[in-house]
Amino acid sequence: MLKLNKAIIVFFVLFFSSASAGDNTSGNKWSFYTGTFDFSDDGAKSTLFGVQHINENLYKETFIGTLQPVTGVMITADNAGYIYTGFQVPYQSGSLTFTPSFTPGLYSEGDGKDLGHVIEFKSEIQLSLELSPNSELGISYNHISNASLGDKNPGANSYMFNFIKKY
């Protein structure tokens, strides 16, 4: 858990310092979320909190859409933690945005669920509604799994409520 705490501190120093540089329309979005970690396992269910950085200026146009880098951290009420980085592909239709994402990361079980390995992969879908040009409200679902890297691979299914703000 000490290594995860150090990684979280480095994450916040790097990304909060870069988010404050520049003007308020810099293309940096922050998603603040809360929900239920592993809602489908009554023995491991826990409240989760997280923050995710989306850099809209670093993107790549591909045949599947616009890939945007995302980096984030989440922690559960049982002191399990996950720090991750990967990409998302937002699809916007009017004021609604559907956003699938894939983010490999490092997991520490703390007093929570043993997912079988320190390396885990998070696949997520999010649906958000634009509240203003600089904010969105969304709901998301994710599955975290180690792709059988460990001796066991129980996975975890979570849902979250998201507030996304452009700074």
At 57-109, the pLDDT tens digits run 889 999 999 999 999 999 999 999 999 999 999 999 999 999 999 999 999 99
For residue 25, name the pLDDT band (cuts at 50, 70, 90).
Answer: low
Domain span at residue 86 reads: 2-14+43-166
User: Rounded distance, CA 48 to CA 63, Å?
Assistant: 34
Lowest mean pLDDT among 2-11, 74-83, 113-122: 2-11
Give domain status of residue 142, yes or no: yes
Give domain status of residue 20, yes or no: no
Give domain status of residue 21, yes or no: no
Give domain status of residue 24, yes or no: no
On the CB side of 1, how many CA atoms lie within 13 Å of its CA? 10
For residue 140, how far is the Cα from the chain centroid? 10
Task: Name the domain count of the chain.
Answer: 1
For residue 107, how far is the Cα from the chain centroid? 13
Give domain status of residue 59, yes or no: yes
Give domain status of residue 37, yes or no: no
The structure's pTM equals 0.82
Give domain status of residue 38, yes or no: no
User: Rounded distance, CA 9 to CA 81, Å?
Assistant: 13
Give domain status of residue 147, yes or no: yes
Could you tell me which residue, 89 or 24, shows the higher pLDDT? 89
Residue 40, pLDDT above cutoff 70: yes
CATH code of 60's domain: 2.40.160.20
Angle 68-70-74 from CA coordinates, rounded to 5°: 160
User: Rounded distance, CA 115 to CA 65, Å?
Assistant: 31
Q: Model confidence over 119-155: pLDDT tens digits?
A: 999 999 999 999 999 999 999 999 999 999 999 999 9
In this structure, what are the phi and psi dihedrals at residue 118, rounded to the nearest 5 degrees? Answer: -75, -30
